[in-house]
Amino acid sequence: MDLVKYVERKRKLAERLEQELGSRASQVRSDHHARRPPRPCGMTVHTGIGCPMACVYCYIYDMGFPAKVKPYPLTGKEMLYALVVNPYFAPGPGGTMIAMGAVSEPFLPETRDRTLEYLREFGTIKNPVQISTKLTLDDDTIFKIAEHVPHISFLMTIVALRDYRKLEPKAPPPEERIETCRRLINVGIHVSAFIRPIIPGFTDRDAEDILNLCKSAGIRTVVLGTLRVTKRIFENLKRVGVDLSDRVRKLSATEQVPIRGSDLKESIAKLAEKLGFRVYEAACGANIEAAGLGCVACEWGPCGDVNKIPDVSERDIVELSKELGFDVSVKFRNKDREIVVEVRRGRDTKLLQVWLKELTRRRVIVKMLGR
């Protein structure tokens, strides 16, 4: 498989967009989307700054984001350029995963148009794209999503049914969100139930009903995730009847601490599997599946279709590494699922690691020779 084509595509795209953006290009290059490495779920893209939804379990307010929202200042073309010039980003089908919706709600009246603008641009490069929301969508938005990024992975957050309003005071009823999922599925969109964060006493109590409703809407994939809390989230949850004192030891004002919740996650996973769902422990699994790919890059895999894990040779990796400025030798191990790369020359080994993980969809171990 020719991996060097991703570098060539990146150069050509950057040149074209730079010409189109003119003097604005240098400002865009200073945006954090143009610099930071991807998170485990992919390259996170902010469609807005802040969020007024005030969900009780939300961590963004501890990260300094405001409780009101404005659209992210980059236009669609500018955001595409920011990603394309980001050294860690590989553009194209099978390239770096994109994830939207992590630190703001992408379908608020203030952010919807910006989100659609980003989706339209991301659709042109065909990278795997994922978006999460807890809002309902009108037909126009649904048709535009399907038109711009038909291979998108759509995550609908549902963490409670009966008492959802205590946790998500400004979100629409879960039944209406599930109805939106049905309409998305009708136009061919891959939709997953995003049962994250699992809130003890709420999510586990309603899990079976949530899953049955999702199943009847045509959803076949579930992404699960446990809760992380700061002191503020811990206290807010306590006020609505969630006592986590036996699930978390040490709290921090700003740092998110994971609660002990694997028992709940496992029981919901079992229930979901019994009902015929594919269950993923990380959101990127659903992104891989929606994009028609396969991945064994971490212990949570395999995700998607194992027959679709890219067919790459040692030579493909050596050539890509050379293009990125590295002189390496390569070994496959663990039945071809792991790649060990020994670097003789080259600097930013994180960059090499990120590119190889994203493009080979395998676990990559990079060793610097002589250190």
Residue 173 CB, shortest distance to ligand SF4, in Å, is 30
For the chain, report the end-to-end CA distance as a whole number of angstroms. Answer: 31
Report the b/e string of 62-82 with b at 16+ CB within 10 A: beebeeebebbebbbbbbbbb
Q: State the number of binding residues for ligand SF4 (CB under 6 A).
A: 11
Nearer to ligand SF4, 251 or 351 (CB): 351
Instruction: Answer yes or no whether residue 161 interacts with ligand SF4 by CB under 6 A.
Output: no
84 versus 284: smaller Cβ distance to ligand SF4: 284
Calpha distance 133→194 (Å, rounded): 9
Number of Cβ within 10 Å of residue 249's Cβ equals 9
Cβ–Cβ < 8 Å for 169, 54: yes
Residue with tokens 């396969």: 294
Whose Cβ is closer to ligand SF4: residue 43's or residue 303's? 303
State the alpha helices, DSSP H only, in the chain: 4-21, 24-28, 76-85, 112-125, 139-148, 164-167, 174-186, 203-216, 231-239, 262-274, 283-290, 314-323, 349-360
Which of the 8 DSSP states describes residue 173? P
Q: How far is the CB of 308 from ligand SF4 (least distance, A)?
A: 12
Q: How far is the CB of 90 from ligand SF4 (least distance, A)?
A: 15
Q: Residue 283 Cβ, how far from ligand SF4 at the closest point, in Å?
A: 8
Q: In this complex, which beta carbon is closest to ligand SF4, that of residue 246 or of residue 299?
A: 299
Footprint of ligand SF4 on 249-308 (CB under 6 A)? 282, 284-285, 288, 295-298, 300-301, 303
Q: Closer CB to ligand SF4, residue 161 or residue 288? A: 288
Least distance from ligand SF4 to the Cβ atom of residue 357, Å: 8
Strands 278-280 and 221-224: what pairing?
Answer: parallel
Q: Between residues 61 and 300, which has the closer beta carbon with respect to ligand SF4?
A: 300
Q: Which residues of this protein are in contact with ligand SF4, per CB under 6 A?
A: 282, 284-285, 288, 295-298, 300-301, 303
